[in-house]
Structure 1
Amino acid sequence: MDRLEAMAILLRVADAGGFSAASRQMGVPLATVSRRVSELEAHLGARLLVRTTRKVALTDAGAAYVASARRILEEIAEIEQMTAGEFHAPRGELVLTAPVLFGRLHVLPIVADVLAAYPEINVRLVLSDRNLHLLEEHVDVAARIGELPDSRMVATRIGAMRTVVCASPQLLAQRAAPTAPEDLAQWPCVNFEPMSPTAAWRFRRRDTRGGCDVPVRPRLSVSKAEAAVSAAARGVGVTQVLHYQCADAVRDGLLQIILPDFEVEAAPVHLIHAARGELPSKMRVFLDFAAGRLRERLASL
């Protein structure tokens, strides 16, 4: 039995909440996942998991073992990086993740600068609107928009992002512009579903510090911000997106921002990475490169 492999599989089962989910995430047959955990339990002479029809739960011994195994695997990864020289010279693969459009517009240009300046660094940039789990999916640095949950991650704030409502000049020319969020009930809207799955848009009340959800009437619902912006620019309806997603269209006069006095508080933007001891040189280089440049890009919006 490969105990390190068995540890890694056990951690994935514990984090995923079940054998089937761990099997899918790792691309390992379900039978192999179950067998490795059973072999580990037999080797230790202790039951680590309580199996039910729907999920698994850690026993007390299992919880203690998982905490220790996680620390051991992280230390092994750091030792391997140090042996390869990644702590002393900027080299090796750097895995980054960012939201799709934000990554393409703002992270990719910085990655290009890093690659030009450091020929021994290679980058894998994972653009996804799903928040990847940094430790499980072996991601070094992530760009995140929004409040961060409490975690073991280290966060560097690089700015804030407005949530804006915008419409095409042609649509606004057809009637008086909305003066309050409730006016949107009379306007056709383009709903960006990941931001507003229930077709209710969030606004700040002018007279209080609180917020309110205002139902809208979607003529069109889309799953990508670029589609929402494009449809709004064509006059299909009013849309609500993050500012960076419509900034080019606003700059080019294709859209106008409306109801700015009712915008919710701007969402923080961070670069995050796992808490650890000494950072590999490739990560220090990227964080030094990215933080200042991203602050400038976000401030320019």
Structure 2
Amino acid sequence: MDRWQAMRIFVKVAETESFADTARQMFMSAPAVTRAVASLEDLIGARLFVRTTRSVKMTEAGARYFDDCRRILADIAEAEAAAGGSYATPTGTLYITASVLFGQMYVLPIVTRYLDTYSTVKAKTLFVDRPVNIVDEGIDVAIRIGHLPDSGLTAVKVGTVRRVMCGSPKYFERYGVPKSPADLKDHRIAASTAAWASPEWRFADDQRVTVEPVLQCNTNEAVIHSAREGWGLTRVLHYQIGPALMAGELQIVLSEYEEPPMPIHILHPEGRHAPAKVRAFVDMASASLRENRLLN
């Protein structure tokens, strides 16, 4: 058995923690899997696994070798794909996630243009206002708003988002314009429970105001609609009211008290080994989002 195949078997055993499961998944006999791992152990002069009747766990040497094997196998797969042309041609199904409104307003137009450009690709979207583990859920690309935790994901910054207070001209004509965050206690507030459900709203210079919304809605669309109708003020991300701002239906107030803007990133898990379908979408989405004046 060649070393490349033995490394593939070793990696699969490490991932499944089972010689029997590896044999079934790779359509091999259990003794063949055992011999492949034993040959690697003889070659490198170290045990790769600690085996008991109930478990298979990597040794310290095995864990180091596992990381190297995955990198080497990924390089081989990349070289083979490049030689065959598939690495350069987007194919397959691209799975993309984003928050609901951002996805509908800004990501979906990019997705449809991407599909028009690459007829060999299909796409699935997951637009939800909840954290998504893109590795566990098989996501190819995620667009995230906010500061990112440390991870092994590749992140490309494409813009920023402001959290803003807004209302309609007819509301301000009737009730006046707040001059400071403290003035919000004298205004009718509509708040979304979909995000930032805390009654304490933070502003620049660590100013904090406890608000008591007269109206609470479970979607951002609902509170934005109430503000457009002149019912009250609301606080949302500024991209969510882009069309209403351009139409003059809403105006931003207290902009001098806003917190620093939050970054927008495109994330994907495969780094430089990403397939063509991912690289092509990331390139197209990065250019499109960076050109959007509402996101910069």
TM over 0.5: yes
Per the alignment, residue 45 of structure 1 pairs with 52
Asked if the contact 1:86/1:282 (under 8 Å) is kept, the reply is no
Gaps of 5+ in 1: 11-42, 50-58, 206-210
Distance (Å, rounded) in 2 between the aligned partners of 1:219 and 1:101: 23
Per the alignment, residue 186 of structure 2 pairs with 186
TM-score (norm. length: structure 1): 0.72
CA shift, 1:134, in A, is: 1.2
- TM-align CA RMSD: 3.5
Change (3 A) 1:60 1:187: farther
Change (3 A) 1:258 1:48: farther
C-alpha distance after superposition, 1:190-218 (max 9, x if no partner): 1122332122222113xxxxx23211120
Q: Does 1:94 find its partner at 2:94?
A: yes
Spell out the pairing of 1:69-148 with structure 2 (5 A cutoff).
79=77, 82=81, 86-148=86-148
2:273 maps to amino acid: E
Correspondence for 2:212 among 194, 217, 230: 217
1:265 maps to amino acid: P
Q: Does 1:241 find its partner at 2:236?
A: yes
Change (3 A) 1:72 1:278: closer
Change (3 A) 1:300 1:61: closer
Distance (Å, rounded) in 2 between the aligned partners of 1:225 and 1:7: 45
1:259 maps to amino acid: L
Per the alignment, residue 228 of structure 1 pairs with 223
TM-score (norm. length: structure 2): 0.74
Distance (Å, rounded) in 2 between the aligned partners of 1:149 and 1:252: 36
SS in 2 for 1:156: strand
Change (3 A) 1:128 1:79: farther
C-alpha distance after superposition, 1:243-274 (max 9, x if no partner): 01111112222211111110111110110111
2:288 maps to amino acid: R
Asked if the contact 1:160/1:298 (under 8 Å) is kept, the reply is no
Asked if the contact 1:146/1:269 (under 8 Å) is kept, the reply is yes
Q: Does 1:270 find its partner at 2:259?
A: no
CA shift, 1:48, in A, is: 6.2
Distance (Å, rounded) in 2 between the aligned partners of 1:68 and 1:264: 44
1:246 maps to amino acid: I
Distance (Å, rounded) in 1 between the aligned partners of 2:224 and 2:240: 7
Q: Name the larger-Rg structure.
A: 2
Aligned residues: 255
Correspondence for 2:255 among 260, 277, 286: 260
**What percent identity do the matched residue pairs reach?**
32
CA shift, 1:284, in A, is: 1.2
Change (3 A) 1:192 1:150: same
Correspondence for 1:284 among 261, 279, 282: 279
Per the alignment, residue 174 of structure 1 pairs with 174
